[in-house]
Every structure is written in C-alpha cells, then in structure tokens.
Amino acid sequence: MVFARRADYAGCRAGTISPRGWRFRHADAFRSGGGGRLPKAPPPRTPAAPQAGAFDPEIEDRSSIEEPAMSLRPSEDRCSSLPLGGLWPALLTPLDPAGQPAWDVLEHLVELYIAQRLDGLYVGGSTGQWPLLTVPERETLAERVIRTAAGRIPVMVHVGATSTADAVRLARHAASVGAQAVSTVAPTYYPHSADVVFEYYRAVGQAAESPLYVYHLSMVNQLRLPPEDYVARLLSLPRIAGMKITDLDLNLFGLIRAHAGDRLRLFSGADEVLCHAVLSGSVGAIGSFYNLWGPACRQARDAMVRGDVAAATDFTRRFQLAISRILGSGSLWSFLRAAMLRRYRLDIGMPRPPLGTLSRTWDDRQVAELLALVDPEAA
C-alpha cells in the first residue's frame, strides 16, 4: 500500500504554505526583536511549482514512497479514516520564565511544523515533560495543540500516568477534543506484573474512543515477555492500532513486526535509529530532535524508504554524531532552548526542575556547528 501523502489529510493542503517562503519572508522580523515568536501564517495559498529538475523536500511528492502495509481490522475502522505514519516531532512544551506553559509559543510551534509539512504531532510525551505537568495542564496542552492544528495535521496525545484514573481521564478528554489517536507508556514507578500493565492498557483503550498506540519506552519498560506473547496481548486490547517503540534494540522491533504483521503500525521512537528502523518495519518515527531538524530528518527517512541507502547513511552518520555530542554534554535541555532560539527565534524556556537543573550554557558557535552538522541550511 502506498503511504498516504500529507496533503491527503483533511484540510492539510488548504492550511499549509511553503515553509521556506514563510521563514525567509519574515527573516527581518525575526532579527529585529519579534519577541522570539513566529508570525502567524498568512492565508492559504497554492504552493508554487518547483523549477524543472529541482528537488525541494518541503513540497516533495511522496506518493511513490512505499511503506509497510497495514489493513485495519473491522473493529478499528470507525477509529481512524487514514493510517498514521511519517515523521512526527515529540512536541516540546514551552515554558515561560516562571515555569508556566507558554501557550503562545506552543501555538507558534504547531504552525511551524504545519508549515514544514511534517506528518503529525505527538503531544505530552517525555519531551513534552508529562511527568512534571498537572492533569489540567496536560488537558489544556492537548486542547491548544488540537485547536491550533485545526485538522491540518494529525495529533496523537500521550495520556500515560502513574494512576489509571488519571490516564483514563486524559484519554477521554483527548478523544473529546478531537485527537486522532492516544498513546500511553506503561504505568511507572511501582513494579507491576504483565497482567496489571495490560489491564491498565485495556482501561485506557476502552476510555479513549480513539486508536490506541502503546508506548514501549525501554528505560521504564517492566515487561519481560517473549515477543510473540507481547504481540498477542497487544492485539487483544480495545482499539489497538500500533506502538511507539523507543528502544535502540531493533531486534525487538523487528520481532514485534514479524509477529504482528500488518496488524500493528510501528513508530520508531529512538532518534538515533530513524533510518535503521525502516528495515525493521517502521511506518514512521516520533522523536525529540525532529522539533529542531524535522524537514532534514523526514528527507533522510524518505530516502531510506525509497532505497537510497547512501543518502540515508550519510545523514545518519552526521545525525548520530550530533546527538551523541548533545547527550554526552549532559545539557540536552539548554541545547534545545539555544538551538530553537537560534534557528526559529522561539524561546521554549527551560524545563521544570529537576530537568535541566545543572545544564550548562551553550556557546552560540557550538550550537551553530551542531545545527549545520545535521542540516547545513540550519546554521
């Protein structure tokens, strides 16, 4: 099955503009102290046709790109009209100097990723600081993103929580405000048996009234199941549609794909193996660094899907080097703040403590070098 183009989502084409034209048209405003905010996108227009022979990843026709096939089971048809896939940023939650959500910056982030023609938004995950937000804040976060997206880009809301009651509340809320899907990590902190974890997933799936994507996060995963049993349990869940698998062990990813076949849509969640995961059967990728390098990462993944291994390999080498240097510094959050400010003139602030408490200040030259390492146009 040919993966649905971004423009095929309801209203997507009508609400997007060329990110390149938007960004450069307002370059003077960015430099002249616009308060670190992107201007609102202008009224919809028809994207200009590229020059003959020119390649523009932002308006590339992806209709020829093949993705792993999937057929929804009859019980899921009413949950989703189009299969989800492609490149999704795990959306940052911007905070103001007082540590409160900066809703205006959040809305500009949503507009930015729509303008870049990314494939979806994953809201309220680890990058979105979900453990440090209150339930009402998480509800408002979902509402603001979905309202701003206005049907132009799919939105998946992470509703995982330590308490089943909180997760169920968030799942119901996400469905009520129009989320295309919900996702949940396994319940954290307390040790739980596999039976308890799957009862938690079942409660979330029953409450959601939206497709459910289980979030397998290796750093908190408590399940020790053979892949075949893992898949069998997943397929018994109500409204199950797929998984987000954040694990550098792609052997597990591949085995889940082998046992699930086309019954689960699998997103890779480890940015470092964005392209590798295509070989293991991923239909898309959700990650932190796609906030910063979304178009370049999407182009690289698309190259891998097309079979352009040389281009994907070259990008992966540079991307992994950059990620290694950033994570190795122990100052991820201050890097993201400095890089988003430099590239997009958006101040996402620092996270709530203890995240980022001892992060060092990045030199502007170092930030520019890392930006350019991944995407020469980003510096």
List pLDDT tens digits, range 82-108.
789 999 999 999 999 999 999 999 999
The catalytic residue among 9, 201, 213, 244 is 244
Residue 187: φ, ψ to 5° = -60, 135
Q: Over the stretch 323-368, which tens digit does the pLDDT of each residue have? A: 999 999 999 999 999 999 999 999 999 999 999 999 999 999 999 9
Q: Over the stretch 141-150, which tens digit does the pLDDT of each residue have? A: 999 999 999 9
Q: With contact defined as beta carbons under 8 Å apart, do 192 and 61 qualify?
A: no
Exposure of 326 in the CB half-sphere (CA atoms within 13 A)? 26
Distance CA 200, CA 204 (A): 6
pLDDT of amino acid 219? 84
| Residue 46 DSSP one-character state | P
Q: What's the mean per-residue pLDDT of the chain?
A: 84
Query: Helix, strand, or coil here: 124?
Result: coil
Q: Which domains does the chain carry?
A: 78-306 (3.20.20.70)
Q: Would you place residue 227 in the very low, low, confident or very high pLDDT band (cuts 50, 70, 90)? A: very high
Distance CA 286, CA 270 (A): 8
Query: Helix, strand, or coil here: 264?
Result: coil
Nearest to 179 by CA among 128, 234, 121: 121
The catalytic residue among 215, 230, 290, 344 is 215
Query: What proportion of the chain, given as a percentage, has pLDDT over 90?
Result: 74
- Is 40 marked active-site? no
pLDDT of amino acid 379? 66
The encoded tokens of residue 348 equal 């996402």
Distance CA 139, CA 179 (A): 11
Question: What is the dihedral sign for C-alpha 214, 219, 223, 228?
Answer: positive
The mean per-residue pLDDT over the stretch 37-59 comes to 37
pLDDT of amino acid 224? 86
Q: Over the stretch 339-349, which tens digit does the pLDDT of each residue have? A: 999 999 999 99
Residue that the structure tokens 């609102």 belong to:
40
- Is 122 marked active-site? no
First to last CA, the chain: 37
Cα separations (Å) of 37 from 62, 112, 150, 288?
A: 31, 10, 20, 20
Q: Would you place residue 81 in the very low, low, confident or very high pLDDT band (cuts 50, 70, 90)? A: low
